Structure 1
Amino acid sequence: MYQIRQWYAPLAHLAETFPVAIVSRSPGAMLALMEESPVPVVYARQVADLEAFVEAHPLAVTLYVNQNAKNFQMMRYGRMWHVFVNHGESDKMYMTTNQFKAYDYAFVAGDAARERLAAALWDYDLDARAVPVGRPQADHTAGDVPFSPDDRTVVLYAPTWEGDRAAAAYGSIASHGTRLVPALLASGRHRVIYRPHPRSGVVDRDYRRAHEEIVAAVAAANAADPTAQHVYDAGGELGWQLAVADVAISDISAMVYDRLATGRPLVVTRPTSPLADVDERGYLGSAEWLTADDASQVVEVLDRVQADPEAQGRLQHWVRHHFGDTAPGAATQRFEAAVARLVARRDEYAARDPQPPRAIEEADPSDTGDDGL
């Protein structure tokens, strides 16, 4: 759900111009979407449900926020455009998978994403298929700030989960978090927003215990001083946290680039595992790193990063490289213009051959709709 939630606001704005609906393949996701979605939601758990929906509606563009295997049941249809929009910019391995080739187009953030794909994929026509749109989510600040602003420095600590393999062990909760959060809580001049990845601790019990330790520390600090207004944020909305934070600390994840899109100070945790795949050819090669050894000195690290004009200069260079024009509304304009071009192209093709879409094969009666979005 965290993947589609990032697109609620851009889809709601797009729906002011084009009819938009979210197709859900999972009963659990459908229940949540019925409560949350700002646009209509269609439940198509089985292939037959999906076929009925497609045949009843003249779809022009289908956007995919992840690489769920159920996507390919929709991709049988060749009379619409299939577009991978992902759920965030990142230097993770996920961002260069050969699965990009399965889609007609990919909407990417900017030049950095195009360079990443060019380096990783053979025979992929970047100019034709990778469309830079920036980060339209950055134009929409979701959620209400749950505290009253004051003179405290607001620090967003947004670690990722522990990962399910050594190459993706980017999570810092156990290695950094249990030291950096207490240091910030004790400073008396910082307000912590602790926003862990929702999967934190699902694989590693020690990682889960470290997470629980941080949650308890935040609660204890608030009990000792209610004016501190520290926040443990397990909510679904992402936006206000990035906008209100004076400085952010993130692991290697899409959150780094969500924050980068704001153009405001950012520190990235250095993974402790030597097997973690860290690509420093792009922004990470110039990032302000926080090692586990320095985690307890986080206050000094943040003071330096916030006051260093050279650090800010490097940051702004990479903001432009990853997202292009980040002026308010610029990314939304590029995203919606890209959709409009595809809708127009679909209409051109449909006018030449006005036959309704048909399923390529009969629905598999054994298909019970394994959980997808």
Structure 2
Amino acid sequence: MADAVKAVLARIKERFTDRSTPPYSIGLPGMPDGPPEPSRLPAVIRNRRHRRRLRAALREYAPTIGMAYAGRAGAPWQLGMWEPYLLASGEPCVIFHLHEKYLDFVRANSDLKSPIIQLGGHRFGDLRDVLAPSLTSLYYVQNAKNNAGYMRHRHVTHVWLNHGDSDKPANFNPRHAKYDVLVVCGQAGIDRYAKHGITIPREKFEILGRPQASDIEPARGPIASLDQPTVLYAPTWQGVDETVNFSSLERGPEIVQALADRGARVIFRPHPLSYRWAKRRKAIKATHDVLRKHREATGVEHVFGQVADKDWSVADCCNHADALISDVSSVVSDFLQSEKPYAMTTMKTGVDEFRAEYSVAETAYVLLGDLSNLDDVLDDLLKNDPLAEARSEKKRYVLGDFTGHESADAFAAYVRRLAQG
């Protein structure tokens, strides 16, 4: 009893002496953007007033859903990948953001529509002020360990979305078992956990397809019939360490040169995180240089740089392409929607081992990391395409039994159902 009284007294003291930065909002109706402005009032009083005003504004806005983010520089594309499909539900949404040092970066590099709530000096302790009573569910697109700070609040439903579907370890992390619901694209998303010894009850999973692939169109015909096929080369990033480095970016110049020599038009879209490292930027530049020189010499309109990286979405790149070369990456799962041919690089193992480890590679033409089988792979990718029939079944396994915009509609309906109880 004495300990409980001490805890209450400590919280009261904190309220009356706290000078730390309070949580604040960006884009919330009824609130100015940013932390409270300096004034003649003592910081303690100024911050208390700000907190009360923020709570009132959130009650008035009455969000029913939220995106809870505790990651870092990946926020612009990870949040941006899912926000439109959450908003399509018609439910009012708010984004909770942990690391203040990245807030300006997020705002400058994204087009988020929802109000952002930046947690203050008390970090997750600030959630008691900003989790509006109307909030029913929180969605997670990045598996930061700090997500646990949000998940301590058990009166809301915590939903794991991830930011892409692939066979990378990020798609079968044991921490995912702690979420209330795991949204996956298809049966493959469930089987990955069991394959790696992670037990999660089947009732926790919701198969909803891949909304982001809804706009990806089918092939315009057998690839061998095309006079000049367009190939999307989309290497993944290097990962957090070598154990999850699946990137072929270092071989990019050779890969796109071989495609150009075959008369193909190339779309080059590296993973956005690759631009964070000087070594990767050098490889990107070298790949750009190969395509630029070939374009100048032949007039072939290769697509790279601003257009491929920023102006076009992943779906746009897929729709402009007739085939794909990628790595272990969510781009492959998205591309499956089209049923067009694709190749995947294996940077560390042989072809058979790679296909056994990564399900989506079973219907890929597997390119060895040393490029020793590049000619054979390009023959199959651009001419023979012996795996065409098998891709249709693989698509259903990976992306679920959805066509057109059915996945996006199913996801929006699920969000509404969860929000409305």
Q: Structure 1: which 4+ aligned runs deviate by more than 6 Å? A: none
Aligned partners of 2:237 and 2:271 also within 8 Å: yes
CA RMSD of aligned residues (A): 2.9
The match for 2:288 among 191, 210, 215 is: 215
Give CA-to-partner distance per residue, 1:16-48, whole Å, 9 cap, x none: x21123333344345544774353221323235
Query: In 2, Cα distance between the equivalents of 1:52 and 1:200?
Result: 37
Instruction: Please tell me whether residue 95 in structure 1 is matched to residue 171 in structure 2.
Output: yes
TM-score, normalised via structure 1 length? 0.78
Helix, strand or coil for the counterpart of 1:21? Answer: strand
Are 2:409 and 1:333 equivalent residues in the alignment?
yes
Task: Return the letter of the residue paired with 2:270.
Answer: P
Q: Distance in 2 between matches of 1:108 and 1:9?
A: 18
Closer, same or farther in 2 for the Cα pair 1:251/1:343, shift >3 Å?
A: same
Distance 1:227 1:182 in 2: 13
**Residue in 1 that maps onto 2:61:** none
- 1:22-37 correspondence to structure 2 within 5 Å: 22-27=95-100, 28-29=102-103, 32-33=106-107, 36-37=110-111
Give the alignment partner of residue 224 of structure 1, picking from 288, 297, 301: 297
The 3 A distance-change label for structure 1 pair 68 and 30 is farther
Q: Secondary structure at the match of 1:327?
A: coil
Shift of 1:273: 6.2
Task: Judge conservation of contact 2:229–2:264 (CA < 8 Å) in 1.
Answer: yes
Amino acid at match of 1:7: W
| Per-residue CA distance 1:227-260 (angstroms, 9 max, x = gap) | 5243233327432011221101001122221212
Kindly provide the CA deviation profile for residues 182-241 of structure 1, in whole angstroms up to 9, marking residues without a partner as x: 122334x32111111123275683x54333211222222333344524323332743201
Secondary structure of the structure 2 residue equivalent to 1:11: helix
Q: Following the alignment from structure 1 to structure 2, what is the Cα–Cα distance between the partners of residues 80 and 161?
A: 34
1:135 aligns with 2:213: no
Residue in structure 1 matched with residue 113 of structure 2 by the alignment? 39
1:38-69 CA distances to partner (integer Å, 9 max, x unpaired)?
A: 532213232355432214x5111111001123
Please say if 1:163 is aligned against 2:239: yes
Normalized against structure 2, the TM-score is what? 0.70
After superposition, the Cα gap between the structure-2 partners of 1:281 and 1:138, relative to the gap in structure 1 and judged at 3 Å, is: closer
Match of 1:2 in 2: 77
Q: Is the 1:166–1:273 Cα contact (8 Å) retained in structure 2?
A: no
Q: Which residue of 1 aligns with 2:395?
A: 319
Consecutive unaligned residues of structure 1, counting only runs of 5 or more, are 142-149, 346-373
Confirm whether residue 284 of structure 1 aligns to residue 361 of structure 2.
Answer: yes
1:70 to 128, 146, 150: 146
Q: Is the counterpart of residue 177 in structure 1 residue 239 in structure 2? A: no
- 1:340 alignment partner AA: R
The alignment status of 1:21 with 2:97, answered yes or no, reads no
Q: In structure 2, the residue corresponding to 1:156 is in which secondary structure?
A: strand
Q: What percent identity do the matched residue pairs reach?
A: 26
SS in 2 for 1:6: helix
Task: Give, in whole Å, the separation in 2 of the partners of 1:229 and 1:282.
Answer: 31
**Counterpart amino acid of residue 264 in structure 2:** H
Match for 1:261: what amino acid? Answer: Q
> Taking CA–CA contacts closer than 8 Å with sequence separation of 6 or more, which of the two structures ends up with the larger relative contact order?
1
Structure with higher helix content: 2
Q: Does 1:116 align with 2:192?
A: yes
| Counterpart check, 1:51 vs 2:125 | no
